[in-house]
Structure 1
Amino acid sequence: MKPFLIFQGPVATRSGYGDHSRDLLRSIIAMNKYDIKVISLRWGNTPMNALGPDDSDISSLIHTQGNLPSPDVFVQVSVPNEFQRHGKYNIGITAGMETTLVHQDWIEGCNRMDLVVVPSEHAKNVLLNTVYSKMQDGKEVDKLLVRKPVEVLFEGVDTDTYFEIKKHDYQKLGDATIKESLDTIPEDFCFLQMGHWLQGDHGHDRKDIGGCIETFCKAFSGRSKKPAMILKTSHATFSILDREDMIQKVENIRAHFKDAPNVYLLHGELTDSEVNLLYNHPKVKSMVSFTHGEGYGRPLAEFSTSGKPIISTWWSGHKDFLKHSVRLVGQVGQIHESAVWDKVIIPESQWFYVNYKFAQKALQDMYSKYKNQKELGRRQKYYITNNFDLKTMDKKFVELFSKYVPKPVSEMALDLPSFDSMELPTLQKAGE
């Protein structure tokens, strides 16, 4: 009889946490060591329609009615302040923090688990380096810090889903909707920016999408020939109101520039295969990210498989895998009050701010010297597919289970003591 494992996470959602949850769950299923049940949770306002007909390996495990017994192993994918103990052995998996500090509730949550798993060295260091003082009568009586083991398990790229499509093969794909949409763009050179447009004043949303658009406009406004930007974004939903709000935000920035370059909004659901078609479209030449911070930076990893160059900040989680890219300089500074998120992004923390003048020149160089920059993309593709793919992640996950998760009694070898051979006396009947 296999030990019982409960996996709790947003497995059905279209979100970064949802993608990661599905990858981790499939990795555990492939171990073939556990009787698994899944508790599917929401993730904010993100859609819960990510599981299709081909995902029966996950949907068939989702528990919908009644209580479950206490498991041998409980795996929870969430933010740490929500971590709870429900099993004999408890694993908390989180994307970690994009800033320099975590809230004390996160530390307490980590300490409720037996093992904490994060996707990057940055996320690990932030958890381990955040320390609070416990005070009594004005004196420090103890320290609040993470006292449980924290291990790094990167988010592996599925190279069966994300891969380079050569230009001549791309043109043979037919009438794919995303291809048709991008074919209508008149510009031959497009930068791609992806990510949720989250809370924060201009320049202070976590991805700094507004600052990136403004810098792009400064770099190319007034030129007779200029590139375009494709912006794949939303707040958290794919509603018409959300789309109109995104359009208005973009136009509010472009309105400050005369003859500004075009910014095309891509809003709504895309399948993984459609995202790969987006990455590989011949008009898409480079991905750009002004992100203030990442727990990992999954789109940057997935785009790397296209073999096209990336312009990005050089701070936080994506430093682990983004070895070959145009690295934007800047400085670490205080979080703006408009970006504060209760018990998540705390006001005392810091994150990275791009030097916009440097970034403007980087965009111009990528456009005017693209042939020279393409080698970065080729090198990054080789690096990501050989070191950060899904199979390598699966292997490391198995190693973490073997190292930390107690084996059930049925799998434990019994070391019995050995004895020297003994000669027993011959027995005779009485009277003989």
Structure 2
Amino acid sequence: MGGSRNKMKYKIVVEGPALTRSGYGEHTRLVLRALRAREDVLDIYLHPLNWGTTSWFLEDEEETQWMNGLITKLRSLPDEEKKFDLHVRVGIPNEFNRLAPFSVMVTAGIETTKVDPKWIEKSHEMNKIIVPSEFAKWGFENTKYQFEIEDKGTVTSKTIGCGAPVEVVHYPVSNLDKDENFELELETDTNYLIVAQWAVRKNLENTIRWFIEEFKNDEVGLVIKTNMAKNSFMDRTATFNKMEHFLSQKEFQGRKCKIYFVHGDMTRQELNSLYTHQKIKGIISATHGEGYGLLIFEAACNGLPVVAPGWSGHLDFLYAPVKAKNGKIKKKATFARVDYVLAPVQKEAVWKDIIHEGSMWCYPNKVDFKRKIRALHTNHGMYLSWAKKLQKHILENFSKEIIHQRMLESIVPDTILNKPDYIYVSDMFSGQYNGGAELSLQAIIDSTPSRKVGAMNAQFINSALVKEHKDAKWIFGNFTQLPEGILQSLYENDVEYSFIEFDYKFCKHRNPLLYETVEGGPCDYKNSDSGKRIKEFIDNAKSVFLMSEKQREIYLESLDVDPDKLKVLSSMFDNEFFTVIEELRQKTKGSRSNTWVVLGSNSWVKGAQESEEWCKENNLDYEVLWGLEPVEFLKKLAVSKGVCFKPSGLDTCPRFVIEAKLLGCKMELNENVQHSDEEWFNKDYDGMIEYL
């Protein structure tokens, strides 16, 4: 029952507001979706954070269940096992705290000309920073501050810049499906759209004001999808009242243009329907700055013309390659680009440790903004053709497949992502279930002659995965949950694989004695479906490892298989196990009790009831052990007089019997303990250690 930490996968913890309806919530889900593609080498944990007062994300039921599983896994992890190989923090850098040897900060950056000093300071604790735009990258790489540095009692002033490499990974195109039942009643045939939170940075009031000034005498509408903080009823009331108050100003009286107010949670399909509504002709923004501009991006993905300032993160996707008259391809603005000036951020926008006082962002030119929205209105056909070219460019270059792969490669070092040399397949692994088979398999995994090792639960294997990794060496443990057709896929792709057999998979009950008990007689395994299946599996395997000589004899009696292919391995242990055994032997000398141990189990095969009855018949004190962690189980064995183990079914090489004998326990076994007569098991302590 002894074992070591599961080393077949790299443990990665992601911190971020994954369950919130926010920009950073979407960013966190992007990270998780990218990592999910390589769960064969990554053991993912999620620490969900809040993000302000934003609403909760509950849109994708399957994905939400998967994320909840990652959260539960982290919460159930003992503190001593919360040691991670990789760490990703999604959010703002001043909140970063390193949790692993390799730690990555994923952030939208800042919408101004320089990042905060705290961000520069924190960047020196990071291995890498990932941002969604070249603008956000520029902000980190072009910011420097004077810091007072103390070294051996001497304080000097140094100019310090960003302390980690910065890489750009954009957002991907989301699902573009529409909601067939979506309805939005608009009195005006021509309308423009704003989707923005009511905050200083979004410059919403000026956007509305300039629109009304330009279209005051036109039968044109402005649809405003906004909120103050979240999409609650209280927020709706507060936002609506603020809008009413704003529009009641004298300057807006007597206007012909219509204002439509939209509030509340909308599904991805509903948003797509909003962007493609036949009466909505474009999306407009007078933002002071964007780290990326996700809502503008979503509109552009749907082919909606865009009016926006020619500054900050949205430029990464609003330029598309166009062939010039000389035949050369160059990037061209495929949106109505608004002129601007850079000036210090407003006092009310300064935010401690985030938006630094003295940094600048853009102030869109009022006259040019009005000129561009008028141009969109009068020359809509041209801007629509631009939007369609841009849409095509985005769909081809910002697909989920492309962006997820970039994010994955940016977060996870190449040494981990390279295709594995060895792939282990099992129904469960150590850490998921600490059974004898799982712990033995883990010892084998730990001794693999390569660091490029992958491991997958049998139920998640598919034919595409087999084909992709057909050049790797595959090792199968227990695989009862392997989907139909996977074995055939192994044969068709000529995969080199080995099989470690812990029981009797040619038997539908995985134990011949259990079969006879349940079915009332022996089975002709050579002609049974399960027998034929396992024979073919063995025939195509490079090698097959069994647990005991008696198990090998039964295999040869039951199936016509090549005897040279069947090798006896026995249970396996790692070096840490032998260290623990030796330490316990030394610590417990002379402190052995008169108590015998019975292995507790609900399995008929393990014979717990028969073992208890033997102890009672012989008037022995005994203790039934089950559910203990491996090391705690070994500690119990180390001070016990003996073990009684009388399995009802064939037990090929019960691990705990070997552990008990190494710890000096007396043995009371029956003939179903299949390794008990083997020479190595009947040697003294040193002889057993040498063999194992």
TM-score over 0.5 (shorter chain)? yes
Query: Is residue 2:408 matched to residue 1:398?
Result: yes
Q: Distance in 2 between matches of 1:405 and 1:82?
A: 28
> TM-score, length-normalised on structure 1?
0.85
Q: What residue in structure 1 maps to residue 231 of structure 2?
A: 238
Aligned residue identity for 2:401: K
Q: Distance in 1 between matches of 2:122 and 2:358?
A: 20
- Pick closer, same or farther for the CA change 1:404–1:121 going to 2, 3 Å: farther
Query: Is residue 2:84 matched to residue 1:71?
Result: yes
Shift of 1:403: 4.9
Shift of 1:48: 2.4
The one of 367, 376, 382 equivalent to 2:377 is: 367
Shift of 1:303: 1.0
1:32-111 alignment to 2 at 5 Å? Answer: 32=39, 33-50=41-58, 52-55=60-63, 56-63=65-72, 64-65=75-76, 67=79, 69-111=82-124
Q: Distance in 1 between matches of 2:393 and 2:214?
A: 30
Q: Distance in 1 between matches of 2:171 and 2:212?
A: 33
Q: Distance in 1 between matches of 2:231 and 2:417?
A: 45
The one of 157, 160, 178 equivalent to 1:144 is: 160
Query: Is residue 2:62 matched to residue 1:31?
Result: no
Q: Partner of 2:205: helix, strand, or coil?
A: helix
Cα pair 1:7 1:38 within 8 Å, conserved: yes
Cα pair 2:409 2:417 within 8 Å, conserved: no
Shift of 1:209: 0.7
Q: Distance in 1 between matches of 2:120 and 2:67?
A: 30
Query: Is residue 2:209 matched to residue 1:214?
Result: yes
Aligned residue identity for 2:162: V
Q: Distance in 1 between matches of 2:122 and 2:160?
A: 11
Aligned-residue sequence identity (percent) comes to: 30
Q: Distance in 1 between matches of 2:160 and 2:19?
A: 35
Aligned residue identity for 1:235: M
> Which range moves more in the overlay, 206-215 or 275-284?
275-284
Cα pair 2:118 2:353 within 8 Å, conserved: yes
Cα pair 1:156 1:390 within 8 Å, conserved: yes
Query: Is residue 2:132 matched to residue 1:125?
Result: no
Q: What residue in structure 2 maps to residue 292 of structure 1?
A: 288
Q: Partner of 1:62: helix, strand, or coil?
A: helix
Aligned residue identity for 1:60: G
Q: Distance in 1 between matches of 2:374 and 2:264?
A: 29
- Pick closer, same or farther for the CA change 1:133–1:406 going to 2, 3 Å: farther
Q: Partner of 1:60: helix, strand, or coil?
A: helix
| Structure 2 unmatched ranges of 5 or more | 1-7, 320-333, 419-449, 454-692
Query: Is residue 2:271 matched to residue 1:262?
Result: no
Cα pair 2:16 2:90 within 8 Å, conserved: yes
Q: Partner of 1:206: helix, strand, or coil?
A: helix
Q: What residue in structure 2 maps to residue 192 of structure 1?
A: 193
Structure with more relative contact order (C-alpha pairs < 8 Å, separation 6 or more)? 1
Shift of 1:401: 4.2
Residue-by-residue CA offset, 1:196-232 (whole Å, 9 max, x unaligned): 112xxxxxx1011110000010011133xx2111111
Q: Distance in 2 between matches of 1:259 and 1:389?
A: 46
The one of 271, 274, 277 equivalent to 2:273 is: 277
Residues matched between the structures, number: 389
Q: Distance in 1 between matches of 2:360 and 2:414?
A: 33
Q: Partner of 1:242: helix, strand, or coil?
A: helix
Shift of 1:141: 2.5
Shift of 1:59: 2.4
Query: Is residue 2:240 matched to residue 1:247?
Result: yes
Cα pair 2:130 2:410 within 8 Å, conserved: no
Shift of 1:389: 2.2
Shift of 1:339: 1.4
The one of 10, 17, 20 equivalent to 1:10 is: 17
Q: Distance in 2 between matches of 1:130 and 1:49?
A: 34
Q: Distance in 2 between matches of 1:8 and 1:358?
A: 42
Cα pair 2:144 2:161 within 8 Å, conserved: yes
Cα pair 1:308 1:376 within 8 Å, conserved: no
Shift of 1:125: 1.0
Q: Distance in 2 between matches of 1:103 and 1:350?
A: 12
Residue-by-residue CA offset, 1:86-107 (whole Å, 9 max, x unaligned): 1121111111010011111111
Residue-by-residue CA offset, 1:47-78 (whole Å, 9 max, x unaligned): 22435423223222113455451101111111
Q: Distance in 2 between matches of 1:258 and 1:53?
A: 46
Residue-by-residue CA offset, 1:324-363 (whole Å, 9 max, x unaligned): 1010111111111121112211221100011111111211
Shift of 1:405: 6.6
Q: What residue in structure 1 maps to residue 592 of structure 2?
A: none
Cα pair 2:12 2:43 within 8 Å, conserved: yes
> TM-score, length-normalised on structure 2?
0.54
Shift of 1:407: 7.3
- Pick closer, same or farther for the CA change 1:404–1:84 going to 2, 3 Å: farther
Cα pair 1:116 1:151 within 8 Å, conserved: yes
Shift of 1:156: 1.3
Q: What residue in structure 2 maps to residue 416 of structure 1?
A: none
Cα pair 2:318 2:335 within 8 Å, conserved: yes
Aligned residue identity for 2:102: Y
Q: Distance in 1 between matches of 2:373 and 2:243?
A: 18
Q: Distance in 2 between matches of 1:306 and 1:340?
A: 34
Q: What residue in structure 2 maps to residue 426 of structure 1?
A: none
| Structure 1 unmatched ranges of 5 or more | 199-204, 413-432
Cα pair 2:47 2:71 within 8 Å, conserved: yes
Q: Partner of 2:197: helix, strand, or coil?
A: coil
Q: What residue in structure 1 maps to residue 176 of structure 2?
A: 162
Q: What residue in structure 1 maps to residue 512 of structure 2?
A: none
1:332-343 alignment to 2 at 5 Å? Answer: 332-343=342-353
Q: What residue in structure 2 maps to residue 19 of structure 1?
A: 26
Q: Distance in 2 between matches of 1:141 and 1:343?
A: 21
